[in-house]
Amino acid sequence: MRIAVPAEIKNHEYRVALTPAGVRELIEHGHDVIVQCGAGIGSGYEDAAYEAVGARLEGDVETLWAGAELIVKVKEPQPEEIARLTPEHTLFTYLHLAADERLTRSLMETGATSIAYETITDERGGLPLLAPMSSVAGRMAVQAGAHALEKAQGGSGVLLPGVPGVPPAAVTVIGGGVVGENAARMALGLGADVTVLDRSLTRLEALDHRYQGRLRTVYSTVDAVEAAIRSSDLVIGAVLILGAAAPKLITRQMLATMKPGSVLVDVAIDQGGCFETSRPTTHAEPIYTVDGIVHYCVANMPGAVAPTSTQALTSATLPYVLKLADQGWREALKNDGHFQHGLNTARGQLTHPAVAEAFGLPFEPVARMLGG
């Protein structure tokens, strides 16, 4: 199969979809891999490293896309990338469609087959292609929040760990999944006072057991969120309902109950954000302030630490890229029910129920799409 790896073009996105080691695996399986010139530079991979494992380099982006059957990317297609997609393409990347109706409709119109990393499931109930980037983003959320708390950023000026004689900051993490646990772990490491809210008692039990009383776990209700944010210096939004738009757990009205200069980091922004006042920001301008509360809402946080993120991402995606390349998308999905959950669009139709529900659009069940 002809597989293309374009350079990412989202703001400050330095990741690339495949490392040279990943490309080598595909070539060993007999596939042609075409890498856009310079695609790996931001992650520390020179063009020569791809050439050395047998990839072809392509400088012209239109030629790269036009010649590909399978396109492997990191971020959702940007408008100029949408314009290059055709019904002959299979696109494998993060999509987060429920957050963006315009993207959803335009992707459907291309007729391309699109498979989203973030909706593929595994037998343990996890999201194996989201998890590595959630680990990165969860860890970064505390760094980003600590920086935003500084006075020069508009923050209250509270130092997360405190110092001897001065108490540490209060950090609330809403959603105790992969992002949430990684954020909690970093915040604990810095010596902050950490509370995690979740709707899943199983998750709270696991966290309680693992952290042995070093963090507080609270069942998530409107009441519990209201109480927690009143005394928090940093609140991290880390909830997810698979494939769906994130629920708004902090309203604008609730901001007035928070301490001035407190910080909200909305990691769930790629699914639309879990705070009413969140809007996507970029690494170039990551923060803004509403009613005295600093917001950080970058939708591609791991892009800023690309050498780490690219290796973690390729390790997770490679087995799936190999299946798509070896078997074609139909067979690969027919043979793996969890992989099937990744299919978001095909033949101009939506195939993910949660995305369809987000916009009140009709959808075609994957099983029917694969049968026909």
Ligand X SMILES: NC(=O)C1=CN([C@@H]2O[C@H](COP(=O)(O)OP(=O)(O)OC[C@H]3O[C@@H](n4cnc5c(N)ncnc54)[C@H](O)[C@@H]3O)[C@@H](O)[C@H]2O)C=CC1
The one among 172, 277, 300, 340 contacting ligand CC(=O)C(=O)O by CB under 6 A: 300
Residues 76/103, Cβ–Cβ less than 8 Å = yes
Our finding on whether 187 is near ligand CC(=O)C(=O)O (CB under 6 A) is: no
What SS3 class is residue 372?
Answer: coil
Closer of 93 and 110 to ligand CC(=O)C(=O)O (Cβ): 93
Q: Is 223 in the active site?
A: no
Is residue 248 part of the contact set for ligand X (CB under 6 A)? no
Give the one residue of 25, 270, 286, 358 binding ligand CC(=O)C(=O)O; rule: CB under 6 A. Answer: 270
Q: Is 89 a catalytic residue?
A: no
Residue 48 labelled as part of a binding site: no
Q: Which residue has the tokens 């009613």?
A: 291
The answer to whether residues 120 and 320 touch, using CB atoms and an 8 Å cutoff, is yes
Residues from 238 through 277 that contact Mg ion (CB under 5 A): 270
> Does 134 show up as a binding residue in the annotation?
yes
Using CB positions, name the residue nearest to ligand X: 177
**Residue number of the CB atom closest to Mg ion:** 270
Is 335 labelled a binding residue? no
Q: How far is the CB of 48 from ligand X (least distance, A)?
A: 30
Left (φ > 0), alpha (ψ -120 to 50) or beta: where does 38 sit? left
Place of tokens 């989201």: 130
Binding-site member from 23, 239, 294, 304 for ligand X (CB under 6 A): 239
| Number of chain residues interacting with ligand X (CB under 6 A) | 36
Per-residue binding string, Mg ion, 297-316, x by CB under 5 A, is --xx----------------
**Among 66-74, 129-137, 210-218, 284-292, which window interacts with ligand X (CB under 6 A)?**
129-137
In the chain, which ranges are continuous DSSP H helix?
A: 20-28, 47-52, 61-66, 79-82, 101-110, 131-148, 178-189, 201-211, 222-230, 252-255, 306-334, 337-340, 353-359, 366-371
Look at residue 245 and give its three-state secondary structure: coil
d(CA 211, CA 55): 45
Give yes or no for residue 133 binding ligand CC(=O)C(=O)O (CB under 6 A). Answer: yes
Site for ligand CC(=O)C(=O)O in 11-50 (CB under 6 A): none
Nearer CB in complex with ligand X: 271/310:
271
311 or 349: CB nearest Mg ion: 311
- Please enumerate, as own/partner, the contacts of 312-315 that have beta carbons within 8 Å and a separation of 24 or more: 312/132, 312/133, 312/135, 312/136, 313/15, 313/17, 313/74, 313/132, 313/133, 314/17, 314/18, 314/19, 314/21, 314/22, 315/132
Phi, psi of 101 (to 5 degrees): -65, -35
Q: Are 133 and 141 in contact (CB under 8 A)?
A: no
Residues 166-205, interacting with ligand X (CB under 6 A): 174-180, 197-200, 203
Is there a contact between 148 and 293 (Cβ–Cβ < 8 Å)? no
Query: At 371, is the secondary structure helix, strand, or coil?
Result: helix
Question: Hey, what are 168's tokens?
Answer: 């540490």
How many whole angstroms from its chain centre is CA 192? Answer: 25
Site residues (CB under 6 A) for ligand X, limited to 288-327:
298-302
| Residue ranges that bind ligand CC(=O)C(=O)O, judged by CB under 6 A | 94, 96, 118, 130, 133, 270, 300, 302
| Residue ranges that bind ligand X, judged by CB under 6 A | 118, 127, 130-131, 133-134, 137, 174-180, 197-200, 203, 220, 238-241, 247, 249, 267-271, 298-302
